[in-house]
Structure 1
Amino acid sequence: MAPRSLGLTAYRALVRRGGAEPAASYPTRPNGELVWLHAAEPGNALAVLDLAKRLMTMRDRLSVVITLPERAAPSDPPPCTADNIFITRVPGEHPDNVDAFLSHWQPNFCIWTWGGLRPNLVLDTAERRCPMVMIDADTAGFDGRRDRWLPDLTRRLLGSFELTLARSDAALRRLVQLGLPRERGEVTSPLLAGGQALNCADSDLVDMSAALGGRPVWYANQILPEEISVVLGAHRQALRLSHRLLLILHTHDYATAEEALERAKARGFNAIRWGEDPYPDETTQVMVADDPGDRGLFFRVAPVSFLGSSLVAGHGGCDPFEAAALGSAVLYGPKVRHYLPSYGRLANAGAARIVNDAGALGNAVSRLIAPDQAAAMAHAGWDVISEGAALADRVIDHVQDRLDDLAGAA
């Protein structure tokens, strides 16, 4: 065991004096391997969640726990319905809280992001022989008073990580100055959310494409009851310029789908229900769906998608990278707080456009169903979601190798 520094002794005495926080109530830990990711940078939990999903896609039966900082951004935690991903607040630094967290989750590997190192948590994790890496390290994560006044403590913390990946040359220089062994540090691209391609059965895609026969299609996803009239109004407007245009209206639940079907028929549309009626034919104007498992199919057949839950406050929008990853140009409303960084990146690249009402949505759909327009936005979207792929692949490969090593040694 490394000798205790005066800085660590003083820090731990101060923490103990403050007392432990009330015991946290954690969900049951699943059996099997578990990776812990700490999203230390406020506002970047979305990128950490994306990395977790990619890692779980690559390794069967893996579970993930993501911890958020004590002062998380308003958009954190991001929505997550994936099985075996648990999102919780980071434990307090009192030894009792740290021990309760580590004893419950028993992580097999830790990925720490950005900085903001927590001495008791980092050192106790290392003492339990849990391998740790730090990624996306930045100078802003190491500008606290403790890093300046207790350099011996910071040096010891940095030595606990077997690999540190910094987001810039300046960040790596700062970490080396603080005591990071140079041979354990590298400069990589920043950690960015990138999305993943949703699954789709090949047979479904072939059958749907045959049924459409080259018709222009646009897709409205995760539509709320308050958004139905906007989407139907936009479709009516777009039909004036493209008479064969089909709208796939995908609601956020079954009850809203029934309401959408009734309202579409009441407005004179030839509407069908996906899953209950046959495939759309040449006369179908609106097809209503509600199964979230079909999103991968619809993003593939629609070159333009409006992402709902974005015109009404309180819902926060849906993930735009699901559409961009499958080559669909993105339209969205202004209420997207859960995914604001992702929408901002796409909009800045010309891969997404904001709309506020039925008229703006109808005009955008009419313009973007032109193949060249949608293709340009889709290409820009692919460039955006590919930006962080190299770092994600590097981290996933490292984690896979280390977990394989640990499994082999067991």
Structure 2
Amino acid sequence: MVGYRGKLVYTVYRALTYGLSPLLYLHLQWRKLRGLEHPLRWQERLGRPSLSRPPGQLFWFHAVSLGEGMAAIPLIKYCVQRSPDTTILMTTTITSAFEVIKNRLPSGVIYQFAPFDTPAAMDAFLGSWKPNAIILMESELWPNLIMGASKNGIALALLNARMSEKSFNRWSGPVLLPLISLMLSQFSLIAPLSTMQAIRFQLLEAPPFIINFSGDLKYTVEEIGISEREVRSIEDLQLQLAHRQVWMASSIHKGEEEVVLGVHKVLVQMLPDMVTIIVPRYPHHGREIALELQKEGSNVALRSRHEKLMPGTNIYVVDTLGELKNLYRLSPIAVIGGSFLPGSAGHNISEAAAAGCAVLTGHNVGHFSHMVVEMQRLNPLSVLQVSGKSELEAALIKLFNDAKVLEARRLAAKQTFHALSSGVVADVWNLLDFHVFRRVF
């Protein structure tokens, strides 16, 4: 009965998305005009490939944005090593993710934009690429994708599986529960981020035998080759920061700059030669911050303009993408944004920990709460959570004034990261091999 109701709800969803297809096409054109879609490859969003499918086995990895995509890259590289005759197709949705990830993938990996979850786009995509297995990252549960894969006998896996409380409440309602139950039953493997996430998937009636733990792929921070020009740029900035006390506020969301700049004004009174590095989540926000500060008469250096940190310049704004991992190495302290305002969901803290930063974050960390809890459980000094401006200010003052405390937190973060990241990729591969790939080969 539940299966019948799920199919009925899916039929309604498929009809609705079919009817909305013309509007989505107009929406796509509007996004293209605003620069939110690739000017030449936007038709990939309609399921129209820009390349031909090679012969042989093909695995499709899909991640919505930059963070999920970067987490998938080490696993993709491992897959290429273990199964060199298999073609890997990777898709993301967001253009900014495409621009960064395209230079990080191994040669031979095909990179496309993901199609809309409309019947025409998804059927065209699956018909063109004919993947033998689909590996989805985190929360990409799209009915036409999943049911289309099932119809075509394509194995499905969901890695770093998570579902927010809001999404869980929506899916668990009487109308949508039959649909999500039907969708989850099509998977061969669901690897949840935490016990809480596993419970949510079980409550949504995912078959218990497909739920297996493997570790968080966002711990898999790897050495990524950068160009000679990028190396020189980082080294040049490192020289400019030499002999100056530094802290970084990374992945800052709109509104959080008020907290960061408020703390900066206090710290710079105590440490006149200090530098605050601000790395907003979105580059355009960085340019807005720099413009406002310049209007107030502050001296600001903007990274996209290659501006230097001159004497008297205490704020460095990074309005570029894809550099965060290397920038963490220039600062002993990293404050991770997206965590200081109500409703925020946090950001990945593992890159800062891997670089040996003392890691601070707010309390609004959403699905990254499992990462904070894991790290603090192994070593309470590895992550410090603070509430708002006053607590952040006090914590930074203590770190700047006590070298032993700073060094202890830096060492704790790095050691904890290494403990949690060890063997994650191999563990995930083994799960995929047992539950998914053996169905294919």
Counterpart position of 1:55: 75
Judged with a 3 Å threshold, the aligned counterparts in structure 2 of structure 1 residues 261 and 325 are, in CA distance, closer, same or farther, namely farther
- Higher mean Cα deviation, 205-214 or 24-33? 24-33
Counterpart position of 1:263: 293
Shift of 1:202: 2.6
* AA aligned opposite 2:370: P
Counterpart position of 1:143: none
8 Å Cα contact 1:194/1:386 also seen in 2: no
Q: How far apart, in 2, do the equivalents of 1:233 and 1:63 lie?
A: 45
Judged with a 3 Å threshold, the aligned counterparts in structure 2 of structure 1 residues 86 and 230 are, in CA distance, closer, same or farther, namely same
Partner SS, residue 273 of structure 2:
coil
Counterpart position of 1:366: 397
Q: How far apart, in 1, do the equivalents of 2:208 and 2:327 lie?
A: 51
Q: How far apart, in 2, do the equivalents of 1:179 and 1:317 lie?
A: 29
Q: Where does 1:316-331 land on structure 2 (aligned, <5 Å)?
A: 316-331=345-360
Shift of 1:315: 4.9
User: CA deviation digits over 1:189-238, x for unaligned, max 9?
Assistant: 54564152585533223222222223221111233452333212212322
Query: Which of 313, 316, 320 matches 1:284?
Result: 313
More helix by share: 2
**TM-score under structure 1 normalisation?**
0.60
Judged with a 3 Å threshold, the aligned counterparts in structure 2 of structure 1 residues 134 and 242 are, in CA distance, closer, same or farther, namely closer
| Structure 1: runs of 5+ lacking an equivalent | 1-9, 39-44, 67-76, 93-97, 115-120, 138-156, 172-177
**TM-score under structure 2 normalisation?**
0.56
Judged with a 3 Å threshold, the aligned counterparts in structure 2 of structure 1 residues 125 and 302 are, in CA distance, closer, same or farther, namely same
Judged with a 3 Å threshold, the aligned counterparts in structure 2 of structure 1 residues 36 and 331 are, in CA distance, closer, same or farther, namely same
Counterpart position of 1:339: 368
User: CA deviation digits over 1:149-199, x for unaligned, max 9?
Assistant: xxxxxxxx99x96x99999xxx9xxxxxx999xxxx9x9754564152585
8 Å Cα contact 1:227/1:308 also seen in 2: yes
Q: How far apart, in 1, do the equivalents of 2:4 and 2:403 lie?
A: 66
Counterpart position of 1:28: 47
- Higher mean Cα deviation, 202-211 or 191-200? 191-200
Q: How far apart, in 2, do the equivalents of 1:259 and 1:126 lie?
A: 47
Q: How far apart, in 1, do the equivalents of 2:436 and 2:427 lie?
A: 14
Q: How far apart, in 2, do the equivalents of 1:335 and 1:363 lie?
A: 19
Counterpart position of 1:301: 330
Residue 242 (structure 2) pairs with residue 213 (structure 1): yes
Q: How far apart, in 1, do the equivalents of 2:236 and 2:437 lie?
A: 41
* AA aligned opposite 2:397: S
Partner SS, residue 284 of structure 1:
coil
Query: Which of 386, 403, 425 matches 1:392?
Result: 425
User: CA deviation digits over 1:113-143, x for unaligned, max 9?
Assistant: 99xxxxxx99996996756779899xxxxxx
Shift of 1:389: 4.0
Q: How far apart, in 2, do the equivalents of 1:12 and 1:214 lie?
A: 66
8 Å Cα contact 1:248/1:287 also seen in 2: yes
Q: How far apart, in 1, do the equivalents of 2:338 and 2:248 lie?
A: 14
* AA aligned opposite 1:378: R
How many residues end up aligned between the 2 structures?
A: 345
Counterpart position of 2:284: 254
Counterpart position of 2:381: 350
